[in-house]
Amino acid sequence: MTRISLRRTFLCSTVAGLGCLTAAAGAQSAASPAITQVAMADAAGEDAEIVVFGRGQTRQVAEIGAADLRLTTPGTSPLKAIQKLPGVNFQSADPFGVYEWSTRISLRGFNQNQLGFTLDGVPLGDMSYGNTNGLHISRAIISDNVGTVRVSQGAGALGTASSSNLGGTIEFFSRDPSKDLAVTGNATYGSQDTFRGFAAIDSGDISGFRSYVSYAYLDAKKWKGVGTQRSHQVNAKATYDFAGGGKLTGFVNFTDRKENDYQDLSLDQINRLGYDWDNVSGDWPQALKLAQIAANRGEVGGFIPRRPNTAGTVYPGKITNVDDAYYDAGGLRRDWLGSVKLDVPLTERLNASVQGYYHNNKGQGSWFTPYVASPSGNDISFRTTEYDISRVGFIGNIKADLGAHTLSLNAWWENNDFNQARRFYDVGGTVTPSTTALSYQQNPFFTQWYNAFNTETFQFAVQDEWKISDAFTINAGFKGQSVKLRAREIIPTGRLAIGNIKSEDFFLPQAGALYR
């Protein structure tokens, strides 16, 4: 039994398994041979910190494997596992580290939008909450299926499929299916009615073919206030090893996540209202009263006329403005992510791979806003920022081993359609609202904007690793990148920028040297 205390929340985990699930083997197959000393971690205690640094690398590379990831509570974001690495800082408001509105990661002072993130080579964008070209790792894969996490600091991995990896790259690798037939599962229960379950079935090796299907469910109430975090995830992966060499790998991952937000607190609010202060999600009449007081004080307006009320102009208790407490807010995300990759040895010294991927996202950030009234007469309306992503891409790699020189050529192309809308919905009655923050909305009474963006990205990288001697290695190369953005208004407002823009540079050099 594992007990981890986080923010006054305890989580007790029990793990039951039948058969053999070779997660460590999957991790090693995804990792570089120079840095796969992680297997020895199985003998380490629960308090051990397992950090493996790249040997012979001309940039600092740190990696953690399946053994280290298993020391965390099941369901914990792999970002929490790498926060102990040098230069990594990770913050989150929930014990699992999966509440996306609050999660932030930085690498040696570089912000999240200056880093590159990939899963099995598939780009995840900058993993921000309002992501325009990817998704967060907590949605991209079930954490139990992560086999390895690799952190490349500095200028990052040159051939990474990313247009934001200025300050470094964080690469996630899923575990390969087990060679043995296996059924595994775990369950977690804790305070705040936290329940999380996971189950997986591995087919074992069938004439070179291996696969698994897994499912994870999370339902956890907020550790303060009213609300929940709830998600369903399904992962499926298959591999086939060709008799003459080469490997075909494919995966399909699905996630449906809905989570209520915590109120964002300033230092003044914490000092005045207390650390446990949150939205008034359990008290709709109180939320209406606060909105009416704000209207009487002239703090809110909006384009919908407001009805007279008797709420007065004095806020109750220690509340001093309408932004101290809203009724509720939430985030909804539904994602499909799939990829197929073929690795082929062309000769004894020449290897190539080609990979295609697809990602579809439907998202909504919701907020019961007191700043715009509902047409039905309520002093609160339901505001959303709605996201739709549909992107497809291809990645190609060629590597040649020429003795003292190892040459590599990488290419990446992606076409991404991203739509974003700001809409307002009527919330109905005065006793209870007619909708919730965890529901996808329909029939808005007003659309503030609705824009469509198409982004086409092409990138290539050429690199040579020259091993002058056993003690001295030089790595040099360059990448080129072209990003074309086309923006248009689906609902014209005349207030937003539209048109085409291009950013292009085909010579971005990088060099490193290692002497030991």
pLDDT at 8: 33
Helix ranges (DSSP H) in 328-478 = none
Asked if the model's pLDDT at residue 39 lies above 90, the reply is no
Residue 187 CA to residue 197 CA, distance in Å, equals 4
Residue 510 CA to residue 478 CA, distance in Å, equals 6
Asked if the model's pLDDT at residue 390 lies above 90, the reply is yes
Asked if the model's pLDDT at residue 49 lies above 70, the reply is no
Query: Which contiguous run of DSSP H or E holds residue 474?
Result: strand 472-489
Cα distances from 494 to residues 162, 166, 454, 489, 501, in angstroms, run 32, 34, 19, 9, 18
Residue 222 CA to residue 293 CA, distance in Å, equals 28
Cβ neighbours of residue 192 closer than 8 Å, sequence gap 6 or more:
9, 220, 221, 222, 223
pLDDT at 41: 37
Asked if the model's pLDDT at residue 325 lies above 70, the reply is yes
| DSSP letters for 88-99 | EEEE-SSTTS--
Q: What value does the mean pLDDT take over residues 194-217?
A: 97
pLDDT at 227: 94
**Pick from 200, 192, 186: nearest CA to 219:** 192
Asked if the model's pLDDT at residue 27 lies above 50, the reply is no
Half-sphere exposure of 310 (CA within 13 A, CB side): 0
pLDDT at 154: 66
Backbone angles phi, psi at 314, to 5 degrees: -110, 125
Cβ neighbours of residue 138 closer than 8 Å, sequence gap 6 or more:
77, 79, 97, 98, 100, 103
Percent of the chain with pLDDT over 90: 74
Q: What value does the mean pLDDT take over residues 253-275?
A: 96
Q: Distance from first CA to last CA of the chain, Å, rounded?
A: 43
Strands (E), 261-380: 329-345, 350-369
In order of their start, the domains of the chain are: 2-174 (2.170.130.10), 267-324 (no CATH)
Residue 190 CA to residue 124 CA, distance in Å, equals 31
Model confidence at 156, in pLDDT bands (50, 70, 90)?
Answer: low
Please write the tens of the pLDDT for every residue from 277-291. 999 998 999 999 999
Residue 476 CA to residue 166 CA, distance in Å, equals 17
Percent of the chain with pLDDT over 70: 88
What does the radius of gyration of the chain's CA atoms come to, in whole angstroms?
Answer: 25
**Pick from 70, 17, 19: nearest CA to 185:** 17
Cβ neighbours of residue 210 closer than 8 Å, sequence gap 6 or more:
176, 177, 178, 179, 202, 203, 204, 238, 239, 240
pLDDT at 68: 87
- Between 58-62, 257-261, 354-358, 490-494, the lowest mean confidence (pLDDT) is in 58-62
Helix ranges (DSSP H) in 267-411 = 267-273, 284-296
The whole-chain average pLDDT of the chain stands at 87
Residue 212 CA to residue 222 CA, distance in Å, equals 32
pLDDT at 59: 56
Residue 34 CA to residue 28 CA, distance in Å, equals 11
**Pick from 290, 293, 380, 386: nearest CA to 331:** 386
Higher pLDDT among residues 391 and 46, named by residue: 391
| DSSP letters for 207-258 | TTEEEEEEEEEEEEE-SSSS-EEEEEEEEEEEEEE-TTS-EEEEEEEEEEEE
- Does residue 396 sit in helix, strand or coil? strand
Backbone angles phi, psi at 54, to 5 degrees: -65, 135
